[in-house]
């Protein structure tokens, strides 16, 4: 054993740590050493059982000050704070899938006396796994901090991580702030002069995609995390490539060493703490809370009574289904009743789902398979699936049209305050929906304001903006969230339309039309939507007044794609936003088996305006949301939901409203993928 590390039996040469060689080498040799440092000569273990992944001081999974290629489990939600003088970071993020992390961060500058934060520099961070770790190959990830934010905090990186026994080694290349060490020339300049442009580290400028991975030089960073035998405890050592060029312009700043050492401890799965030193004179600390909604024991929404009829040897079930339940779950209780009480001559069970004028799948299953799964416990949902046939047609209208009720606790958080820090606002929304005639639905919801500090930050939007008086709406204690009439209708089994009108959300009334092409067995869906909106008057009773002279037209072409290997849905939009600007939006979403849902999106406009994110001109808007369905218990609505959304509260550009209904959501739980994913829930429960 040399230098505290064991050498592999297949290499008898004296051991020299790759990081030592890397930073001592001449500039032209560092690329070669970088490749060699992460290509092990012998197999290395890919798993450990000592501690979960922990974050660096700015909120990304990493070492002390640098990121690693490690990712959390899909659905992991974390929030916390990190301190590394002069910055105090607050962060929140979601692991959308095994390969994609998206987070928001706000960094407070505490350098100026009396060390009370006066400037906040928010940003959007992301990391994407390019290659999963193998027996011989490292895990590789690419990422950005302040991908949207100010240039003073922006950095991009490519990082590689490889485990060997209890140690996890990391090595990477950094751009932006992480390129200020200038260890190497930017290798991307071979693709054009665009990547060779001079990179400024100026907090007064906004970072944008044209600056990503640019700069004359890049930096090299690396380190190791050693998982100690004590459960949950690890030792971190790293060497960073940030030389704090921006901070050195301030006379109060004291320079620091590029290396750092720290301890990370997770006493429980849901909490992690860290403490360390950068050099010998700068203390660092982190505190992170985490959880995963997919592991929550969430209750199902309340199901409604189905209609049962018999025709010769067939039992027909028509089950009402709302947006909060899976199709198999909606029919499960009625199936139990059929197999217990249907005449003996009934051999087949037809299951149809009632969504009014919407064409839904008809599932034909064998009674003997259902009986084997429930009565004798010798069958399974998989055997029912194998012998089932599927067709599509409009259901017979149920004689009972259920009233659907919901209660939502809505929390909105804005990390984008440049001067005032984090803003938040909460409200309780109670909703009701009823089919008044066949496929015609009537819905309404009331909003009770729970308060927050959002109105303490002055809005920047101009007086001609559709959102210029958002503060007035937030000040209303009680009001109408929506009240509308909607008609969804299927032109054929793959094509659907939706018309709706009324009070569509807290700030707007109007009407809209939508069309969706979504083949039952396809992962791809295409659609379009147009809307004509009028601003509601917050100074009238229940915000019921309408400014008829404030009309706003918008419309979008939409595409959805269920990504098979990542188990998430990609959504692309392009069109006209509410304020008359044009642009596009890209979003990803994931719905877990227990109904929890995660959404993230970014919208880009052709117009610019001053925003609260950096105080600079911006043409983007972002959103990160988590929805937790709590199900239904006695004496409560059919579905109770907690929804938390992180987004700018008062932007004007790149804005659209979420309609009370949309066709993709209406048809989602009757799609082939959804039914297959939730098929286990078809098994009736006594």
What average pLDDT values come out for the chain (686 residues) when binned by 10 residues? Answer: 36 38 43 39 38 86 96 92 88 92 87 59 91 94 90 90 95 94 92 84 70 92 94 94 81 78 93 94 92 80 78 85 81 81 86 85 87 76 84 60 88 72 87 86 94 64 63 84 95 94 94 96 95 92 89 96 86 95 94 89 87 63 90 82 88 88 92 87 68
pLDDT in the model for residue 501:
97
Predicted TM-score (pTM) of this structure: 0.82
pLDDT in the model for residue 28:
41
End-to-end CA, the chain: 63
User: What is the β-pairing status of strands 184-185 and 139-150?
Assistant: unpaired
CB 422 within 8 A of CB 382: no
Closest Cα partner for 613 from 53, 194, 205?
A: 205
Closest Cα partner for 59 from 95, 90, 35?
A: 90
3-class secondary-structure state, position 459? coil
Neighbour tally for 589: CB within 10 Å: 17
**Rounded distance between C-alpha atoms, residue 305 and residue 18, angstroms:** 67
Q: Where are the beta strands (DSSP E) in 23-138?
A: 77-84, 87-97, 100-109, 120-131
Q: Which residues of 45-75 are buried (b: 16+ CB within 10 A; e: fewer)?
A: ebeeebbbbbbbbbbbbbbbbbbbbbbbebb
pLDDT in the model for residue 250:
67
Residues contacting residue 675 through CB under 8 Å, at least 6 positions apart: 326, 327, 328, 361, 363
**Rounded distance between C-alpha atoms, residue 589 and residue 627, angstroms:** 11
CB 666 within 8 A of CB 429: no
Closest Cα partner for 212 from 126, 139, 91, 92?
A: 126
User: If DSSP states are collapsed to H, E and C, what string results for 146-193?
Assistant: EEEEEHHHCEEEEEEEEEECCEEEEEEEEEEHHHCCCCEECHHHHHCH
Block residue for tokens 């839904």: 360
Q: Where are the beta strands (DSSP E) in 538-660?
A: 545-563, 568-576, 582-591, 597-610, 617-631, 639-646
Tokens of 193: 């002069």
Tokens of 668: 């989602």
pLDDT in the model for residue 575:
97
Work out whether the CA dihedral 267, 272, 278, 282 comes out positive or negative. negative
pLDDT in the model for residue 483:
96
Closest Cα partner for 368 from 345, 396, 400?
A: 345
> Residue 197 burial (CB < 10 Å; 0-12/13-18/19+)?
middle
3-class secondary-structure state, position 415? coil
Neighbour tally for 683: CB within 10 Å: 18
Work out whether the CA dihedral 250, 251, 254, 256 comes out positive or negative. positive
Half-sphere exposure of 309 (CA within 13 A, CB side): 9
Closest Cα partner for 63 from 274, 279, 333?
A: 274
**Rounded distance between C-alpha atoms, residue 589 and residue 598, angstroms:** 5
pLDDT in the model for residue 203:
57
**Rounded distance between C-alpha atoms, residue 182 and residue 218, angstroms:** 5
> Residue 251 burial (CB < 10 Å; 0-12/13-18/19+)?
exposed
Tokens of 38: 């992460």
Q: Which residues of 437-470 are buried (b: 16+ CB within 10 A; e: fewer)?
A: eebbbebbbbbebeebebbebebebeeebbbbbb
User: What is the β-pairing status of strands 524-537 and 389-394?
Assistant: unpaired
Rounded to the nearest 10 degrees, the angle between the axes of helix 327-341 and helix 367-374 is 90
List, in sequence order, every residue forming a beta bridge with 79; answer none if it has no partner. 92, 289
Tokens of 98: 């095994």
CB 588 within 8 A of CB 100: yes
Neighbour tally for 492: CB within 10 Å: 9
């Amino acid at each position: 054993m040399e230098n505290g590390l064991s050498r592999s039996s297949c290499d008898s040469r004296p051991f020299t740590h790759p990081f030592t060689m890397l930073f001592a080498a001449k500039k032209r040799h560092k690329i070669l050493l970088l490749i060699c440092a992460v290509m092990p000569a012998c197999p290395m273990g890919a798993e450990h059982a000592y501690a979960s992944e922990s974050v660096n001081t700015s909120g990304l999974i990493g070492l002390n000050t640098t990121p690693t290629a490690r990712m959390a489990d899909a659905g992991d939600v974390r929030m916390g704070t990190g301190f590394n003088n002069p910055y105090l970071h607050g962060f929140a993020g979601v692991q959308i899938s095994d390969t994609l992390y998206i987070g928001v961060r706000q960094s407070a500058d505490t350098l100026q006396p009396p060390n009370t934060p006066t400037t906040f520099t928010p940003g959007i961070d992301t990391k994407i796994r390019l290659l999963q770790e193998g027996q011989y190959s490292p895990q590789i990830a690419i990422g950005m901090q302040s991908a949207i934010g100010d240039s003073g905090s922006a950095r991009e990186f490519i990082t590689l991580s490889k485990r060997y026994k209890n140690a996890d080694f990391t090595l990477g290349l950094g751009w932006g702030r992480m390129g200020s060490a200038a260890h190497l020339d930017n290798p991307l300049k071979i693709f054009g002069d665009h990547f060779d442009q001079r990179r400024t580290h100026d907090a007064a400028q906004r970072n944008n995609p044209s600056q990503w991975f640019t700069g004359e030089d890049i930096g090299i960073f690396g380190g190791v995390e050693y998982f100690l035998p004590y459960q949950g405890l690890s030792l971190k050592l790293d060497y960073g490539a940030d030389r704090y060029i921006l901070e050195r312009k301030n006379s109060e700043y004291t320079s620091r060493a590029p290396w750092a050492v720290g301890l990370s401890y997770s006493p429980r799965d849901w909490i992690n703490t860290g403490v360390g030193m950068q050099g010998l004179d700068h203390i660092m600390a982190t505190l992170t809370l985490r959880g995963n909604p997919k592991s929550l024991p969430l209750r199902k929404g309340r199901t409604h009574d189905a209609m049962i009829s018999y025709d010769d040897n067939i039992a027909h079930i028509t089950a009402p289904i709302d947006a909060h339940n899976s199709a198999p779950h909606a029919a499960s209780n009625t199936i139990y009743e059929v197999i217990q009480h249907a005449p003996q001559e009934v051999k087949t069970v037809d299951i149809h789902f009632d969504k009014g004028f919407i064409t839904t799948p008809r599932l034909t299953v064998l009674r003997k398979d259902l009986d084997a799964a429930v009565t004798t416990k010798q069958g399974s949902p998989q055997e029912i699936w194998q012998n089932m046939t599927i067709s599509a047609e409009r259901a017979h209208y149920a004689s009972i049209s259920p009233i659907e009720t919901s209660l939502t606790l809505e929390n909105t958080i804005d990390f984008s305050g440049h001067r005032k820090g984090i803003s938040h606002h909460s409200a309780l929304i109670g909703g009701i929906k009823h089919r008044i005639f066949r496929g015609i639905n009537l819905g309404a919801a009331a909003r009770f304001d729970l308060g927050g500090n959002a109105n303490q930050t002055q809005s920047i939007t101009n007086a001609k903006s559709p959102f210029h008086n958002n503060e007035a709406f937030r000040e209303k204690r009680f009001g109408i969230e929506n009240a509308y009439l909607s008609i969804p209708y299927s032109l054929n089994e793959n094509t659907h339309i939706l018309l709706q009108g009324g009070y569509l959300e807290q700030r707007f009334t109007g009407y809209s039309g939508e069309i969706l092409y979504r083949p039952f067995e396809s992962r791809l869906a295409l659609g379009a939507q147009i809307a004509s909106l009028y601003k509601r008057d917050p100074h009238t009773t229940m915000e019921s007044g309408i400014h008829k002279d404030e009309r706003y037209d918008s419309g979008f072409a939409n595409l959805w794609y269920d990504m098979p290997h990542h188990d998430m849905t990609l959504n692309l939009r392009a069109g006209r936003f509410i304020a008359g600007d044009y642009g596009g939006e890209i979003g990803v979403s994931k719905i877990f088996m227990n109904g929890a849902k995660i959404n993230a999106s970014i919208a880009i406009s052709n117009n610019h305006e001053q925003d609260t994110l950096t105080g600079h001109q911006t043409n983007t808007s972002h959103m990160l949301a988590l929805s937790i369905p709590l199900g239904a218990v006695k004496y409560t609505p059919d579905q109770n939901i907690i929804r938390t959304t992180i987004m700018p509260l008062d932007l004007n550009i790149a804005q659209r409203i979420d309609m009370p209904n949309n066709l993709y959501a209406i048809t989602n739980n009757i799609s082939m993928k959804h039914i297959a994913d939730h098929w286990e829930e078809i098994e009736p429960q006594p």
